[in-house]
Structure 1
């Protein structure tokens, strides 16, 4: 993990997530036990009209555990200073995520698909139930990019693949990319933007796979 000294602009207070509540936290001087940021929504993020899907759905969908490259297999809060060194991946000294990006998105996507009611059932990757389709999501990017000392955006990108659960033949595949601008150049603003990007991302993946039920 690369640790850097934060510029003065990082002195603004940061908001940390505890479930859906917001707590105030420090910046680069935050204590080691600071509550980690969490993009996982505990409330319904599916529009009411989407929840009125047909109750005659007969297809069971299984969401395989979301995968990600090795550099994302961490709860470290990673970011780029694109205006200084676009290739260097940096990490906050104290700020961190409540889980890995794959774990957080897995939870959000499973919840979203289950609430949409487009499927007879949506099973987690650990479930032993019988399914007709398997949805695999490979996360390729989950990072906050600061494009200037006082500007930046959250980025989530990945590829979804829908498979036949019986012979594992590919039914469809689609790439997704969501960005949300930061309101301020801070870790808290990055986490808030990442939460919003996560909502857009899982919504887009869910809407895409729902058309195959």
Structure 2
């Protein structure tokens, strides 16, 4: 009887402590559950653009919106596990772009070209050479579980009154500092800026650029 009484007494005494422990665990679990929600739907862009080198006085250029295949014509953040399944692309669940990559690249390109001369839209009535850029690759490629790089590829076509003045495919790569969306976004911004710089330099040696 005495032993039974002591057991029951301890059981009753332990109930408040047990209830407190359960409450703390539930509160902790609630806090942990809120953390992913706070980190969900993270949006990335290409960061601040570099200011144009100078105010351009060169010939006007019509820069069409950059086009892209359906897989890239979305705000989804694409990555590829080259080390395990190189033919399959995947997307981050909680990380996206602020706009489709083609739109982000269009803004970057027009901003960079504004330093050379007037940048016009495709539907502008002014007669000027037309630049068309087709984005075919814009993704974070994982070479291993902890190693990845940005891959950006685009083809540029320069035309004037229906005649092709020049065409070239540009490829840009940049290593990611971390194997996640944040590292990939930074690397893709670096690779995009490098590709835009290559494209602007290429336009600078085209025949139309000598016209004033």
Give TM-score, length-normalised by structure 1: 0.75
Find the partner of 1:39 among 36, 46, 59. Answer: 46
Q: Which residue does the alignment assign to 2:166?
A: 172
Aligned to 2:98: 98
The answer on 1:124 being equivalent to 2:121 is: yes
CA distance in 1, matches of 2:55, 2:63: 21
Deviations 1:27-82 (A, max 9, x none): x93547644100153441x4x4xx276x4x3x210001111111111100010111
Q: Distance in 2 between matches of 1:99 and 1:199?
A: 17
Q: Secondary structure at the match of 2:44?
A: coil
- Which of the two has higher C-alpha Rg? 2
Measure the CA separation in 1 of the matches of 2:64 and 2:176. Answer: 31
Could you say if the C-alpha distance between residues 107 and 52 of structure 1 is closer, same or farther in structure 2, counting changes exceeding 3 Å? closer
The correspondence of residues 3-82 of structure 1 with structure 2, limited to 5 A, is 29=36, 31=38, 34-39=41-46, 41-44=48-51, 46=52, 48=53, 51=54, 55=57, 57=58, 59-82=59-82
Aligned-residue offset at 1:158 = 0.8
Whether 1:194 and 2:201 are equivalent positions in the alignment is no
The residue that corresponds to 2:133 in the other structure is: 137
- Structure 1 residue 193: deviation in Å? 0.4
Which stretches of structure 1, 4 residues or more, deviate above 4 A after TM superposition? none
Unaligned runs of 5+ in 1: 1-27
Could you say what the CA RMSD is over the residues aligned between the two structures, in angstroms? 2.0
